[in-house]
A and B are shown apart, each in its own frame.
Chain A
Amino acid sequence: MIDIINTFINGLSLGGIYAMIALGYTMVYGIAKMLNFAHGDIIMVGGYTLFVAIGLFGNPILAIVVAIILCGVLGVLMEKLAYKPLRGASPLAVLITAIGVSYLLQSLSQIIFGAGTKYVNMPNWGSITLGSLRIQVYTLVTLIASVVIMVALSVFIKYSKTGRAMIAVSEDRAASELMGINVNTIITITFLIGAMLAAVASTFYLLKAPSISPTFGSMPGIKAFTAAVIGGIGSIPGAMIGGILLGVIEVFTNSIPAIAPYTDAIEFTILIIILLVRPTGLLGKKRREKV
């Protein structure tokens, strides 16, 4: 029983991380209408930044701030250099560019940092014991922080002027342009937020498992994409639910030795089943094409 609770808490915290990455995916998707396949690699860049920054400053909090800022800048740069020239072009063209950017980031990081694994000295907070239940502190921190961030993001989107402009752009870009919303700025801000969330996710990843390599971001990226789709791509609460669901499933299947090798297959099968039952994800808007 204790094991199950423990596993569940681990799943929640992993899910929180997935949710955070999925948020980036889903926001960029909803607003810029593109699948940013390079999103996973921003996590990787965030990881390397933390590695360098902790080495430089020693202070993890400062390093995290630096990583968030740098990833934000990278997200904006990526958008300006690679995606903005393609605004208005076929979304598949943008998809291919995103893949190209992803390759580029991976190989550049290998050139700069080498192929080896780097280990980031994140603070170790130890664990707390509640009866026979022992929980790692970082698990709790991740869980709480991700909930706080999600709530803050929801509030920001719902109540701030920029947030509402984002909703408008995602609903109808042309109309919002006519209403005087600067679509380019909104898209840039979306990329900024998405990339910053990725940096936060990368921090939590490193708190869990402090090692990074150039391909560090690709699997979390795909998993988070899956999470975003399970929740209904474009939907912010959907990304949270999808992420947490996926995290819990992953940790549980991993904890049963007989099915552990099939973890990926199980996760993806659940995804397919969910989509067959609800074709637009758990919280995706049900859209009926107007005739």
Chain B
Amino acid sequence: MIKHKKNFKLKHYINYIGIGFVTILFSILSLTGNASISLQFLLEKIAISIILAVSLGLVVGFLGELSLGHAGFMCIGAYIGGKVSAMLEASLGCGISNLLISLIVGGIAAGICGVIIGLPALRLRGDYLAIVTLAFGEIVKTIFINTSAESFGGATGLSTPRYNREFLFIYAFIIVLIMLFIVQNLIRSKHGRAITAIRDSEIASRATGINVTRYKLLVFALSAFFAGIAGVLFSFSNYRVQCTKFDYNYSIEILVMVVLGGMGNITGGIISSSLITLLQVKLATLLSGNLAVLQNVLYALILVLIVIYNNAPRLKGFREKYSIKVLFNKIFKKKADPATVRDDEAKWDRVPTKINVDDLLSMDLVVTESVAKPDKGGEHNE
């Protein structure tokens, strides 16, 4: 890898550096006994959110399919992984080996379900797929809630061992790093290119020889696998896995993180998932007593305002004048030329956020028959 050193760009490694810095900083704080419990809990949650947001980002941002059932995969991971860890607790205790085995089993179980839910994705698009994923999540939830108390705990949830909180968040962040390594390399490679090509035009990618079936299943499986991993971490960070948590509202919450971070933008996903988690925890712990009702109002208002500010076509001029990027460029005297994406290699982790309206949410391609339609710019016969 030495020969690539000349191409070293900070941008390539910003995610690793950021997460790595956070991990090391807080690990030191925690191991020297300076991290408060709430900080440790918060970091666990943030790590889980990051894994969820990045893995859902694979499906929504890179493959361009809308999934509203991500919590369902997490649920499977949490239950299967939690069950495994509970069974292993007697022989292995709640240590690193237990954690690893549970992570792998839970992740694979969720990954298999990812393939199963990826199958309809081959036939369905847009909202139809969205509702199937939503339905999948609800089905998983209903099945687990009705299990017997001995198998998966039923209504009161599955009792799982909790990992030592001083270490769990460190492992969680290491998993985040591993996941980023895999996801970013994949997206950067020819396979990632194929996936984004499918998003941009499925028909053209088929015609170019891309095996769309394979890649769709792959992305669904990988995304579900990581969601399952997040679920297993969740089971280790709670004493009980209760499936009421994994309803469609939670899936939507993950989707919010992905969308606010910018579709197909891994760094954005990491930032928005951390900040949303932080915001929620802070709102819940700060607004005690009678003020608690305000937290949802605040959260909802922040959400709506950010989305409108970031996306409203009318505010475009304003955004271009006053956004932080412009400010940043002014300070560092960088030229910003939106037409040219300079240095293709540097942009591997970020594909533009605009996904065609019809590709993602609707299927407007009303076609009567396959006969040719009037030429674009050609001669006009009749």
Taken together as a complex, chains A and B put the C-alpha atoms of A182 and B146 apart, in Å, by 52
Contact B365 A288 (CB under 8 A): yes
A-contacting 9-mer, from B175-183, B302-310, B334-342? B302-310
> Is A35 positioned at the interface, with any CB of B under 8 Å from its CB?
yes
- Chain A residues with Cβ below 8 Å from B314 are 85
Contact A90 B131 (CB under 8 A): no
Q: Is the interface of B mostly helix, strand, loop or mixed?
A: helix
Contact B362 A91 (CB under 8 A): yes
Contact A86 B307 (CB under 8 A): yes
Taken together as a complex, chains A and B put the C-alpha atoms of A171 and B366 apart, in Å, by 8
With A90-B355, A288-B370 in contact, is A271–B307 under 8 Å at CB? no
Contact A280 B363 (CB under 8 A): yes
Taken together as a complex, chains A and B put the C-alpha atoms of A82 and B294 apart, in Å, by 20
> Is B37 positioned at the interface, with any CB of A under 8 Å from its CB?
no
Contact A86 B203 (CB under 8 A): no
With A100-B300, A271-B132 in contact, is A89–B313 under 8 Å at CB? yes
Taken together as a complex, chains A and B put the C-alpha atoms of A285 and B363 apart, in Å, by 10
> Is A96 positioned at the interface, with any CB of B under 8 Å from its CB?
yes
> Is A269 positioned at the interface, with any CB of B under 8 Å from its CB?
yes
- Chain B residues with Cβ below 8 Å from A264 are 138-139, 142
- Chain B residues with Cβ below 8 Å from A102 are 300
Contact B132 A272 (CB under 8 A): yes
> Is A99 positioned at the interface, with any CB of B under 8 Å from its CB?
yes
Contact B143 A110 (CB under 8 A): no
> Is A265 positioned at the interface, with any CB of B under 8 Å from its CB?
yes
Contact B307 A97 (CB under 8 A): yes
> Is A88 positioned at the interface, with any CB of B under 8 Å from its CB?
yes
Contact B304 A90 (CB under 8 A): no
- Tell me the nearest residue of chain B to A106, going by C-beta: B296
Contact A92 B297 (CB under 8 A): no
With A86-B307, A271-B131 in contact, is A285–B203 under 8 Å at CB? no
With A275-B124, A280-B363 in contact, is A103–B300 under 8 Å at CB? yes
CB distance from A220 to the nearest CB of B (A): 14
CB distance from A264 to the nearest CB of B (A): 5
> Is B58 positioned at the interface, with any CB of A under 8 Å from its CB?
no
Contact B361 A91 (CB under 8 A): yes
A-contacting 9-mer, from B14-22, B211-219, B220-228, B252-260? B252-260
With A33-B357, A272-B135, A291-B370 in contact, is A93–B127 under 8 Å at CB? no
- Tell me the nearest residue of chain A to B126, going by C-beta: A233
With A268-B139, A281-B128 in contact, is A107–B367 under 8 Å at CB? no
Contact A96 B307 (CB under 8 A): yes
- Tell me the nearest residue of chain A to B127, going by C-beta: A233
Taken together as a complex, chains A and B put the C-alpha atoms of A93 and B132 apart, in Å, by 21
CB distance from B141 to the nearest CB of A (A): 8
Contact A103 B66 (CB under 8 A): no
- Tell me the nearest residue of chain B to A103, going by C-beta: B300
With A86-B311, A290-B367 in contact, is A265–B138 under 8 Å at CB? yes
> Is A61 positioned at the interface, with any CB of B under 8 Å from its CB?
no
Contact B135 A287 (CB under 8 A): no
- Chain B residues with Cβ below 8 Å from A88 are 313
Contact B308 A86 (CB under 8 A): yes
Contact A93 B310 (CB under 8 A): yes
- Chain B residues with Cβ below 8 Å from A138 are none
- Chain A residues with Cβ below 8 Å from B366 are 171, 285, 287
CB distance from B134 to the nearest CB of A (A): 8
State which residues 77-136 of A face B: CB under 8 Å.
Answer: 82, 85-93, 95-97, 99-104, 106-108, 110-111
State which residues 352-382 of B face A: CB under 8 Å.
Answer: 353-355, 357, 360-367, 370, 373
| Most chain B CB neighbours (cut-off 10 Å) among A96, A111, A279 | A96
Contact A226 B131 (CB under 8 A): yes
Taken together as a complex, chains A and B put the C-alpha atoms of A290 and B363 apart, in Å, by 11
- Tell me the nearest residue of chain A to B365, going by C-beta: A289
> Is A51 positioned at the interface, with any CB of B under 8 Å from its CB?
no
- Chain A residues with Cβ below 8 Å from B364 are 33, 287
State which residues 125-177 of A face B: CB under 8 Å.
Answer: 171
With A226-B131, A281-B128, A290-B367 in contact, is A104–B301 under 8 Å at CB? yes
- Tell me the nearest residue of chain B to A34, going by C-beta: B361
Contact B297 A107 (CB under 8 A): yes
- Chain A residues with Cβ below 8 Å from B353 are 90
Which residues of B pack against A, CB within 8 Å? 60, 66, 120, 123-124, 127-128, 130-132, 134-136, 138-139, 142-143, 145-146, 203, 248, 252, 255-256, 259-260, 263, 293-294, 296-297, 299-301, 303-304, 307-308, 310-315, 353-355, 357, 360-367, 370, 373
Which residues of A pack against B, CB within 8 Å? 29, 33-35, 37, 82, 85-93, 95-97, 99-104, 106-108, 110-111, 171, 222, 225-226, 229, 233, 261-262, 264-265, 268-269, 271-272, 275-276, 279-281, 285, 287-291
Q: List 28 A-B contacts (CB under 8 A).
A: A33-B357, A35-B361, A85-B312, A86-B308, A95-B361, A97-B307, A100-B301, A100-B303, A100-B304, A101-B304, A104-B297, A104-B300, A104-B301, A104-B304, A111-B293, A222-B248, A229-B128, A233-B127, A261-B142, A262-B142, A262-B143, A262-B146, A265-B138, A269-B135, A272-B132, A276-B124, A289-B363, A289-B367
Task: Please name the 9 residue pairs, one residue from A and one from B, whose CB atoms are nearest each other, closest first.
Answer: A268-B135, A107-B296, A103-B300, A100-B303, A89-B311, A104-B300, A100-B304, A265-B142, A91-B361
Given A226-B131, A265-B139, A271-B131, 14 additional A-B pairs, CB 8 A: A82-B304, A87-B313, A89-B313, A95-B255, A96-B259, A103-B296, A111-B293, A171-B366, A229-B128, A262-B143, A265-B138, A272-B120, A272-B135, A276-B124
